[in-house]
Structure 1
Amino acid sequence: MSFEWRYVVRPDGSFWRTPNVDGALDSVTDEQLQGMWPLVDQHRGDREPVSCSRCGREVVLHWRAPAPGVMLELCEHCDSGRPAAADLIRWKRDPARRAVDLPLLFAMWETETMEAMGWVFHPPQA
């Protein structure tokens, strides 16, 4: 069984991902995928901005980590000195950069952030 993520990016740079097990979503367009999960967008505008737990400023991205109970924050003020975080911040802020490979940027940021929190990523065994 193969597993990878399928990303859907909105024009404002926000995005979400869903599992693509054994390539089941390979033939589905982004527009079709968006229509399959309308609840993802239904309450998007109702959310309060999330504040950084380190400096109190609004975060660029708030994401549930692959580790149980761990939330990841991407803060422009606190994280711009970390390479993967800086790349993802630039991607999020600049629509011209949206052609850059989001899955790779996101995976690098997620790994960098998890490692900074003391977690270690072990890639799946082939």
Structure 2
Amino acid sequence: MALIWRYLLRPDGSFSRVANIDGALDHVTDDELARTSDADGDDQPARPCSRCGTDLLLHWHGPLMTGVWMELCPACDAHKPAAGAFIRWHRDPQRSAARLPRLFEDWEDETMHTHGWARAPRTAPPPGPQARPGLTPRGRG
């Protein structure tokens, strides 16, 4: 099973991230994905930073089962490399959708690292069973 995130950037700078398992959403256009995503009602109310009380640019649940709540605060996080880059991107009215996946994932890695988590290295899937020469599945040969 291959999981690749599909990002959808809205004109106001908000975005959503959808799991694209085994390429199931490869044929879905961004417009179709936007209609589906908008119907989900995933708009979240503004939240203050838990560290300083400033309005957050973004708050996000960390990866499943970690229990981490990720906060992107312009006052607390601007000095961090990945968070600072994400903050600058977020404030740019000409923001590029192409940069969003890398910026988000770098920020996610940086934030999760501060909570003691690290992303597992990506490895190639194990090879499937090897067929022995001269043998075919039953009924096929």
Provide TM-score, normalisation by structure 2: 0.80
CA distance in 1, matches of 2:101, 2:69: 18
What do the CA deviations read for 1:42-75 (whole angstroms, capped 9, x no partner)?
Answer: 463xx53101010011111000000422110000
1:49 aligns with 2:40: no
Kept after mapping to 2: 8 A contact 1:91/1:100:
no
Q: 1:119 aligns with which of 105, 108, 117?
A: 117
Secondary structure of 1:81's partner? coil
Q: How far did 1:3 drift?
A: 1.0
Separation (CA, whole Å) in 2 of partners of 1:74 and 1:90: 11
Larger radius of gyration: 2
| Match of residue 101, structure 1, among 99, 102, 106 | 99
TM-score by length of 1: 0.89
Structure 2 gap segments, 5+ residues each: 125-141
Q: Could you say what the CA RMSD is over the residues aligned between the two structures, in angstroms?
A: 1.6
In structure 2, relative to structure 1, the CA distance for the partners of 1:43 and 1:102 (3 Å cut) is closer
Which stretch shifts more, 52-61 or 90-99? 90-99
Give the conservation status (yes or no) of the 8 Å contact 2:9–2:97.
no
The count of residues paired between Structure 1 and Structure 2 equals 123
Larger helix proportion of the pair: 1
- Percent identity between matched residues is 50
Q: Give 1:64's aligned residue.
A: 61
CA distance in 2, matches of 1:99, 1:124: 24
**Paired amino acid for 1:51:** P
SS of the residue 2:22 aligns to: helix
Is there any run of 5+ residues in structure 1 with no aligned partner, and where? none
